[in-house]
Chain A
Amino acid sequence: MNKPLLQVRNLRVDFGRQAALRDVSFELFPGETVALVGESGSGKSTLARAILRLQPARGSVEFMGLDLLESPAPLMRAQRRNLQIVFQDPLASLDPRMSAGDAIAEPLQIFEPQLNATERRQRVASMLERVGLSAALVNRYPHEFSGGQCQRIGIARATVLHPKLLICDEAVSSLDVSIQGQIINLLLDLQRDLGMTMLFISHNLAVVRQLSHRVMVMYLGKLVEIAPSDSLFAAPVHPYTRALLAAVPQIPPVAAAAPLSEGSLSADSITAGCAFRDRCPYALPLCASSDPPLTELPAGRWVACHRSHETLNPLS
């Protein structure tokens, strides 16, 4: 039985009256790539930031045996070398006043101060090459690079210390389609070489399908479905997951079911019951009064729906 690398229990984040994360619990095991999908307001970015303590949160986040939320700041800082993140906007995640080399060198300066300048320079150069950039670009500034190149620098910075867990927060969403593949392949290569676990956050289901072992689906701050990738895409259970998959435009175009209506509930207006009920074609009166818990189903699946045990007819 594998011991989980990351264990999140009852994670809660509130922005005033708005509940961005509501009792989120899950586990990540070493070596796997887990995708976290959801739309705006789902809380997926908030989840990433809460795990990294970039965002105050309540609950527990156990990483390599240490409760990150309860640790004193210096201990947390020490753990950061094992827990890294790549952000969505490649240019914004780089300090405009620091060269590519400086940006990649910073984690080395913080965690490996025993390195002298030459050793550090060598590590930076090899990291640049590793992510597919020429070492000659080491003194260039972020605005001199394209989006894809900036993202490579961000990845180099995040992986230079060989972290155990890499969180990719919409890391390819702002890149051209023809560049996305390059970056994803890079991430997969690094994962294999460095033995990293990856939490891949995205709203793009097609991309997620290609690289994840397991998928977690979020809606308005709650996990509504967790399943192995193949079974999720072949046979989604939660009505939201189904609607999400049906809404993705395809080539060649498939005859679309009636699209999901716009919800009227938002994160701050949910009081009781399931947050998805106002858009759900299968909603029962029960759904308005009782919020379904995430329940385990056979074959490693978890679903938060009162009707998950039924075989629901596809929408026509």
Chain B
Amino acid sequence: MVPTLSIDELSVSFAHRTGTLGAVDGVSLRIAPAECLGVVGESGSGKTQLFLAVMGLAGNARVRGSIRFEDKELLGATARSANRVRGSKLTMIFQDPMTSLTPHLTIGTQLAEVLVCHQGLSWREGRDVAGRMLERVRIPEPRRRLSQYPHELSGGMRQRVMLAMSLLCEPALVIADEPTTALDVTIQAQIIELLRAMRGEAGTALALVSHDLAVVAGLADRILVMYAGRIVENAAAGELFRQPRHPYTAELLKCVPSLSGPRLARLPTLAGQPPQPGDALQACRFAPRCPRAADRCRIERPALMGTSTSQVACHFPL
């Protein structure tokens, strides 16, 4: 079975005043059809840069490696062939619903535009399909929204519009980059529910990128944990939470405060901070903060190893 998305040894780096900055360092992953992959990491983990590179939005960065979508290579493909795929079969939703939509065009125009460009529909047909998609994403008063402008909608509604836009051409994969971070908790719950429903109905694969483990927990089949540009653990969702194998994952889980469980006098913490641009890096980038670090970790980079369902990049996994 051909994976929907197949990334091999992807590196994204930026030229910086102080040298090159490796935002993503040798990442490989697979997303199977209809699978939901959660990608979790904190600032500097590279999770956003990874998917921006997939969508061709990496800007000035140098991107090396291989990105195959449904077995067609995207890196190095002509802009034309890549653009046929991006925006129709491979789509992305961004974090800030306020800036993702063009302020001076109506919702209807922006949605119809996707269909006109990718599927050759007429504007009238496009608006029609758009209206039906807005119904599917359960936006209140869908037909009315078509003639409204983005600033007339709330954050939650804008995010629904973004989701509608990403689903218009029946994509094989939707990348959602922190889709609920800018939203209130109660609205976030609605959007998570919506994403769950969409997956069920359309069978679309979903790459859910977030710093919030709990959000990812509710949706993902499998979870990748990233730290300082590398994947450190790859496991089924339930497994990851029950039995994390990488020390970073374990510490991160301890740091997430919960609504149940005992109240603590002091919050658990992870000492130090993620590597900043310009910091000297050890072979295992987590070593400076790792309670289990040994000399080997400072000189030998741990490779991602394990079975097909569970992998970890650590010399001394839990």
Shortest Cβ distance from residue B214 to the other chain A in the assembled complex, whole angstroms? 4
CB-CB contacts below 8 Å: B214-249 with A: 214-215, 217-218, 238, 241-242
**Contact status B260-A250, CB under 8 Å:** yes
Separation of A262 and B156 alpha carbons in the complex (Å): 8
Cβ–Cβ < 8 Å partners of B307 in chain A: none
Of B154, B189, B242, B266, which one neighbours A185 at CB under 8 angstroms?
A: B266
How many of chain B's residues have a CB under 8 angstroms from any CB in A?
A: 46
Could you tell me the dominant secondary structure of chain A's interface residues? helix
Separation of A149 and B273 alpha carbons in the complex (Å): 9
Separation of A39 and B242 alpha carbons in the complex (Å): 31
Shortest Cβ distance from residue B201 to the other chain A in the assembled complex, whole angstroms? 18
Cβ–Cβ < 8 Å partners of B217 in chain A: 249-253
B270 at the interface (CB under 8 A from A): yes
How many of chain A's residues have a CB under 8 angstroms from any CB in B?
A: 44
> Which of B129-137, B170-178, B250-258 forms part of the interface with chain A?
B250-258
Of B257, B271, B273, which one neighbours A209 at CB under 8 angstroms?
A: B257
Separation of A253 and B221 alpha carbons in the complex (Å): 12
**Contact status B185-A247, CB under 8 Å:** yes
Separation of A247 and B187 alpha carbons in the complex (Å): 8
Shortest Cβ distance from residue A263 to the other chain B in the assembled complex, whole angstroms? 9
Cβ–Cβ < 8 Å partners of A185 in chain B: 266-267, 269
**Contact status B212-A206, CB under 8 Å:** no
- Please, what's the 1-or-0 string for A235-254, where 1 marks a CB less than 8 Å from any CB in chain B? 00000000111111111110
Separation of A83 and B253 alpha carbons in the complex (Å): 35
Shortest Cβ distance from residue B192 to the other chain A in the assembled complex, whole angstroms? 7
**Contact status A210-B264, CB under 8 Å:** yes
Separation of A176 and B273 alpha carbons in the complex (Å): 9
**Contact status B267-A262, CB under 8 Å:** no
Of A147, A148, A233, which one neighbours B259 at CB under 8 angstroms?
A: A233
Shortest Cβ distance from residue A281 to the other chain B in the assembled complex, whole angstroms? 13
A residues whose Cβ falls under 8 Å from a Cβ of B: 39-40, 146-149, 176-182, 184-185, 188, 203-207, 209-211, 229-230, 233, 243-253, 256, 259-262, 264
In the complex, given contacts A182-B271, A251-B241, what are 4 additional A-B residue pairs having Cβ atoms less than 8 angstroms apart?
A176-B42, A206-B258, A251-B258, A262-B140
Query: What would 5 A/B residue contacts be, using CB atoms closer than 8 Å?
Result: A39-B185, A40-B184, A178-B252, A243-B186, A249-B214
